[in-house]
Chain A
Amino acid sequence: MTIIFGIFLLTLLVITAVAVVRTANLFVAVMLLGIFSLLIAANFLLLDAADVALTEAAVGAGISTVLFLGALALTSERERAATPHRWLSLIVVVSATLVVLYATFDKPTFGDPEAPVQQHVAPWYLEKTPEYIDVPNVVTAVLASFRGYDTLGEVFVVFTAGIGVLFLLSAQHGHAARRRPDEDGSNIGLRDDLIPRVVGRLLVPFILLFGLYVQFHGDYGPGGGFQAGALVAAAFILYALVEGEDRTLEALPFNALLTLMVSGALLYGLVGLAGIVFGGTFLDYSVLADDPVAGQHLGILLIEAGVGLTVTGVLLAIFHAFAARDRF
């Protein structure tokens, strides 16, 4: 029965994607992208990927809409030109689609337990996690411990992307690009709207609390540093929307965000080096405590904290960089 739900949701997904590409109004495209994100999160949940669905929820529900709207406010809301060479592109794309569709016929049937992808390392992870790491959430175990190198790389990619955005958007930082709060009244957020302001302020502590829960409950249920970082960033973005940029920057100054970004990535790297110092290999947490399993727990806790700090710092720094830009 759930497979029928999945098929229905996937069909809606295709309709949404077509509508996103067809509309010439970029604002509408961003709204439809929000629906796309909700649909794909529901699909992930149906495909047993609760952690991935939570990540998509944390990122897609608030942050990506806010970022795209911020970029639209700085550029333009409409596609002005009609698509040139439309038929040529369509022919190319349709023929490529046929090739990819032809390739899918070599795929194993949906949900086949004998498929090659299920035979490789995955059974080993599922079997050995209770013994080596002893956390119920295998996704967290693989993310933080078995594939710690991979996650280290991803954290540095996020970090680098954050630095890149800051380089691009703080070119005239300080005077020309930064608007003063009372100049045009456009960055006080929704401070004059009583109802959103009251409800928003009420929700911020709950989102922060939920973020912490997701961060530290990630070993036992869906969650972890990536989701928690996005949720905490969403809480501060909500605060910025209802109270204005300047007050958010008073609560969490820009330099503090830079410190968060750097310290998270650094913490991850240092935990890896601590493995070497204590006589193991890079990112081997077993040597961090007397008992290897306790060492793994400590290592996972620390690096998840590092991931959470970096993701929060980067997402908020990106948000402020867009919001502080002079608008046309």
Chain B
Amino acid sequence: MYYVVAFATLVTMGLALIRAVLGPTVYDRVLSVNMFGTKTVLLISVIAFLAGRPDFLDLALAYALINFIGVLAVLEFFKSRAARRLQEQAPEDAP
């Protein structure tokens, strides 16, 4: 029965990858990275039970904990870039 889930997860990973390659905006790519992360957590949990090695769940736990650091870094990146652009424009706007 794990094969059903593993198969669905793999197909979804493929779909997310197509979305990541097609884009069109950068945010679509971030979205698919994020989605890929959760799919990897599910896939690893399923593989751990398929292989009969529940200690592999540590790996899924690691991904569940630190996957969103990447997305937060992206948000911080865009915010500080927006702030920098505002600052660059400010001297020109001043009379």
* Contact between chain A and chain B defined by CB under 8 Å: yes
A61 and B67 form a contact (CB under 8 A): yes
Query: Would you call B75 and A32 a contact (CB within 8 A)?
Result: no
Chain B residues in 8 Å Cβ range of A16: 17, 20-21
Q: Write the A45-74 contact mask toward B (1 if CB under 8 angstroms, else 0).
A: 110001001100110011001100100110
Residues from chain A with a CB closer than 8 A to the CB of B59 are 41, 45, 50, 53-54, 57, 222
Q: Is the interface of A mostly helix, strand, loop or mixed?
A: helix
The digit string for A1-38, where 1 denotes a CB below 8 A from any CB of B, is 11001001100100110010000010110011011001
Collect the chain B residues with CB atoms within 8 Å of residue A196's CB.
Answer: 72, 75
Q: Is A200 an interface residue (CB 8 A)?
A: yes
- In the complex, what's the smallest C-beta–C-beta distance from B74 to chain A, in angstroms? 7
- From 39 to 81 in chain B, residues with beta carbon under 8 angstroms from any chain A beta carbon are 40, 43-44, 47, 50-51, 53, 55-56, 58-59, 61-63, 65-67, 69-70, 72-77, 79-81
A278 at the interface (CB under 8 A from B): no
B82 to chain A: closest CB distance in Å?
A: 9
Distance (Å) between the CB of B46 and the closest chain A CB? 10
| A27 and B70 alpha carbons, distance in the complex (Å) | 12
Partner of A38, one of B26, B30, B40, B56: B40
CB neighbours of A222 from chain B (8 A): 55-56, 58-59
Q: Tell me the bound Cα distance from A16 to B19 in angstroms.
A: 11
Which of B37, B53, B77 has the most chain A CB within a 10 Å cutoff? B77
Q: Please tell me which one of the listed residues A5, A19, A72, A190 contacts residue B75 in the complex, with CB atoms under 8 A apart.
A: A190
Number of interface residues of B (CB under 8 A): 47
A202 to B: closest C-beta gap in Å: 11
Most buried by A among B14, B61, B73: B73
* Interface 9-mer from A101-109, A181-189, A247-255, A293-301: A181-189
- Are A241's CB and B69's CB within 8 A? yes
Residue B87 lies at the interface, judged by CB distance under 8 Å to chain A: yes
Most A CB within 10 A of own CB, among B55, B58, B62, B87: B62
Residue contact A57 to B62, C-beta cutoff 8 Å: yes
Chain A interface residues toward B at CB < 8 A: 1-2, 5, 8-9, 12, 15-16, 19, 25, 27-28, 31-32, 34-35, 38-39, 41-42, 45-46, 50, 53-54, 57-58, 61-62, 65-66, 69, 72-73, 184-187, 189-190, 193, 196, 200, 203, 206-207, 210, 214, 217, 221-223, 227, 231, 234, 237-238, 241-242, 327
Spell out B's residues near A (CB within 8 Å).
3, 6, 10, 13-14, 17, 20-21, 23, 26, 29-30, 32-33, 36-37, 40, 43-44, 47, 50-51, 53, 55-56, 58-59, 61-63, 65-67, 69-70, 72-77, 79-81, 83-84, 87
Interchain residue pairs with CB less than 8 A apart (12): A15-B17, A34-B36, A38-B36, A53-B59, A57-B62, A58-B62, A61-B66, A186-B83, A231-B62, A238-B66, A241-B72, A241-B73
Known: A15-B21, A221-B55. 11 other contacts (CB 8 A): A16-B17, A31-B26, A31-B33, A34-B70, A54-B62, A61-B69, A186-B80, A190-B76, A222-B59, A234-B66, A234-B69
- Ranked nearest first, the 9 interchain pairs of A and B with the lowest CB-CB distance are A62-B69, A186-B80, A65-B70, A221-B55, A31-B29, A57-B62, A19-B21, A38-B40, A62-B66
